[in-house]
Structure 1
């Protein structure tokens, strides 16, 4: 058990880890950005639970994700 050869299970190189990190960072940025303008962070929530930025939120009557009428807007800090 102690002296097993792990050559077939090579660990990812530093460059692999770097690109995975960059990909994860880009994906996280996409998830946290407003789905309407795609440029500002989500900081306003609707009654349905979906979010947009505080500039786009007041301009939409229906949720851009689920299309339910917006009855409540809450600024997130």
Structure 2
């Protein structure tokens, strides 16, 4: 297993140890980078106007269109480390 992949998996475990809830912007960044790293570019239809949370998540993920999976993994790791104060 590559070092990046193992660091990504460690970051997924580390994010669960946060003592304070991250801001909505940080949560959206984590979500979008995780989805881009695991699933690639966004797929499916954009949620409707009444699904504000789903729409925000979709838009955050769509904003990363074209970002490689490795780059998305690294950005996710960097964001987790930032939230943990590393």
Q: Please, what TM-score do these two structures have when normalized by structure 2?
A: 0.21
Q: Please tell me whether Structure 1 or Structure 2 has the larger radius of gyration of its CA atoms.
A: 1
Q: Answer 1 or 2: which has greater helix percent.
A: 2
Higher RCO (CA 8 Å, separation ≥ 6 residues)? 2
More strand by share: 1
